[in-house]
Amino acid sequence: MTALHINGGIPLQGKVRIQGSKNASLPILAATLLAKDNSHILNCPQIADVEHMLSLLRNLGCRVSRSKEGYQIDSAPAGACKMSGEAITGMRSSLCLLGAMLGRFGEVAMEHPGGCIIGDRPIDLHIKALEQMGVVFSEEAGRLVGKAAKLHGADIRLPIPSVGATENILLAAVQAAGDTLIAGAAKEPEVEALCRYLTACGAEIDGAGTSIVFVRGGRSLHGAQFKVPSDRIVAGTYLFACVGCGGSVLLENAPCEQMEAVVRAAESMGARCQPDCGKGSYGTEYGRESGLYVHSCGRPAAVERLYTAVYPGFPTDLQSMALAVLTRADGVSRVEENIFENRFRVVEPLRKMGADIELLEDRTAIVRGKDTLRGARVEAKELRGGAALVLAALMAEGESEITGCAYIERGYENIGKDLRDLGARISSV
């Protein structure tokens, strides 16, 4: 897919099934390295980032095969060879292989990870934490090299609750000698999912999903079957599409209990949301299927203040989508970005579509809602901003063309088909 053509102004109706979580799948796939055995990872989304990660695992010697439900990964034959620089620099989430490779091989050499340009995302927290566990890092020919003569547990206190750093510490700690305490750990559902997979493989982890996590290291790990939870960001994207366009939508298998801040924001914009989470949000293996019903009519309401925060606050990955919806809101809204400084890169293409957005110096946007947006040719520059442009095009009058769709494909299996299933007039080329 190189471009999306969208004729906007159509309310959304129907149901769409939410794919598996991108942000949970990637560290779990990296963690299969530690099992030295066969794992069956179910409900992995068929997206570009997952394919990149699988390619990296194959490059390391893992046997990877696709099943109807997911992927079989046999990591027994893996070796500590150097990974493809192109693959590493093209995906930020390849960084989670740092902890996995140190845990498995005691060494790692990789290019500096890349990904979307949404702001400075230094890896200092990862490096400093792993150094406490006995890893010595150096730069060799532009590559990051880490070696540990003997990986050991440590008392690690993170100054900010970094998801990536928490995951890397976990991946190293489960194979380190001794115990590891992580204070200030990220509480995101994706971190908890990684802990559940590692526990299924035989690791001993206490406090998953809290700010204090304790790992008893050095346990022998084995392969496991694990079902990846549904993607709360994809669910939020389609929720906000309904808020912006109007209509009635059922988001099948949406992880409702992970979306409280998102649902509150949507309801403040005038939507009616009815969660039906059953006994769990991970499919029939953990309880009956969940869902989220969304109904919206008329223009969205403006919000006095919407601000991003670490979980369980409003996620930065959905800020661009909420911003797009508020360009049509009845009134003036204030949006504050507290995680990544470049999340407002989407503002310029939204202005091209007629949005009235004023950017302040403190990562704040003042959005004066317009009755309508107009179709335009715009380019996605990063994953979530690209999805926000899709929402803006759905709301706009006339036809829009969105290029740069390779970014969108990093996180959405088939955003065009999903939205067509809800009645949108959208085609891909």
Residues 202 and 245 in one domain: no
Instruction: Based on the fold, state whether residues 181 and 296 are members of the same structural domain.
Output: no
Question: Which tens digit of pLDDT belongs to each residue from 288-332?
Answer: 457 999 999 999 999 999 999 999 999 999 999 999 999 999 999
Same domain? 216 vs 94: yes
For residues 399 and 283, membership in a common domain is answered with: yes
Is 80 exceeded by the pLDDT of residue 407?
Answer: yes
Could you tell me if 186 and 284 lie in one domain? no
* In the predicted structure, residue 283 carries a pLDDT above the cut 80: no
Based on the fold, state whether residues 235 and 333 are members of the same structural domain: yes
What is the domain count for the chain? 2
- The pLDDT of residue 289 is 54
**Quick check: 275 and 236 in contact, CB under 8 A?**
no
pLDDT exceeds 90 at position 378: yes
CA distance 381 to 182: 35
Residues designated catalytic? 116
For residue 158, the model assigns a pLDDT of 97
- Final residue of a domain: which of 227, 243, 261? 227
With beta carbons less than 8 A apart as the criterion, state whether 189 and 200 touch.
no
Mean pLDDT value across residues 282-286: 38
Q: What is the pLDDT of residue 140?
A: 85
Predicted confidence at residue 70, as pLDDT, reads 94
Do residues 215 and 198 make contact, with C-beta atoms less than 8 angstroms apart? no
Interior CA angle at 27 toward 24 and 29, to 5°? 100
Co-location of 7 and 41 in the same domain: no
Residue 411 has pLDDT above 50, yes or no: yes
Query: Which residues, in sequence order, are CB contacts of 337 under 8 Å at separation 6+?
Result: 307, 308, 316, 319, 343, 344, 363, 364, 365
What is the pLDDT, as a whole number, of residue 342?
82
CATH number at residue 312: 3.65.10.10
The owner of tokens 């067509």 is 420
- For residue 326, what are the domain limits? 3-19+231-428
Say whether pLDDT at 41 is over 60.
yes
- Considering the domain architecture, whether residues 192 and 293 belong to the same structural domain is answered as no
pLDDT in tens, 56-99: 999 899 999 998 889 999 999 998 765 554 444 444 457 889 99
Q: What is the percent of the chain with per-residue pLDDT over 90, rounded to a whole number?
A: 83
Amino acid at 122: P
User: In degrees rounded to 5, what are phi and psi of residue 396?
Assistant: -75, 155
Q: Please, are residues 53 and 60 in contact by the beta-carbon 8 Å criterion? A: no
Domain boundary among 171, 199, 227: 227
Among the ranges given (5-19, 74-88, 347-361), the one the predictor scored with the smallest mean pLDDT: 74-88
- Tell me: the pLDDT tens digits for 201-219? 999 999 999 999 999 999 9
- The CA radius of gyration of the chain, in Å to the nearest whole number, is 21
Mean pLDDT for 146-173 is 96
Q: Is the pLDDT of residue 364 over 80?
A: yes
pLDDT at 256 over 90: yes
**Domain match, 34 and 13 both:** no
What's the pLDDT tens digit per position in 176-191?
999 999 999 999 999 9
> pLDDT tens across 220-236, in order?
999 999 999 999 999 99
Tell me the one-letter amino acid at 211: S
Unique residue bearing structure tokens 């068929």: 46
pLDDT score recorded for residue 233: 98
pLDDT band for position 374 (cuts 50, 70, 90):
very high
Lowest-pLDDT choice from 65-74, 258-267, 387-396: 65-74
* Length of the chain counted residue by residue: 429
Report helix, strand or coil for 310. Answer: coil
Sequence-ordered alpha helix ranges (H) in 112-202: 124-132, 163-173, 189-200
Query: Are 109 and 201 in a shared domain?
Result: yes
Which pLDDT belongs to residue 290? Answer: 75
Q: What is the mean pLDDT of residues 384-393?
A: 98
Q: Do 172 and 309 reside in the same domain of the chain?
A: no
Which pLDDT score, from 0 to 100, does residue 83 have?
A: 53
Of 227, 253, 270, the last residue of a domain is 227
What residues pair up with 364 in beta bridges, in sequence order? 336, 360
Q: In 256-336, where does DSSP find H-type helix?
A: 260-268, 319-326
325 and 251 co-located in one domain: yes
**Residues 329-353, mean pLDDT to the nearest whole number:** 95
Report the pLDDT averaged over residues 364-391: 97
